[in-house]
Amino acid sequence: MGTDAEAGPEFWRGVLVAGGSTTIPRWTLNPAPGVVEHEAMVPEHLVEALHGLE
C-alpha cells in the first residue's frame, strides 16, 4: 500500500470486490405520495447498550 491518499480507495475496492449481493426490494404497483410512520419495539438490553454509547 502506498500513501494515505491511496489507502482509502484501495480499502473500499477490496470491500466492494469481496462483498456479496444485495437484494433490491420490489417496487410497489400502486405508489402513493406521502410519509409513513413505523413503530418497532427495541429490546431493553439494546436500549441500555445505546445509552452506553453517549
Dist. CA 9–CA 5, nearest whole Å: 8
pTM: 0.34
Contact call for residues 7 and 1 (beta carbons, < 8 A):
yes
Domain ranges of the chain: 9-52
The type of residue at 16 is L
| Structure confidence at residue 5 (pLDDT) | 66
Give the pLDDT mean for 27-53.
91
pLDDT tens digits, residue range 7-22? 788 888 888 888 877 7
As a whole number, the mean pLDDT across the chain is: 84
Backbone angles phi, psi at 48, to 5 degrees: -65, -40
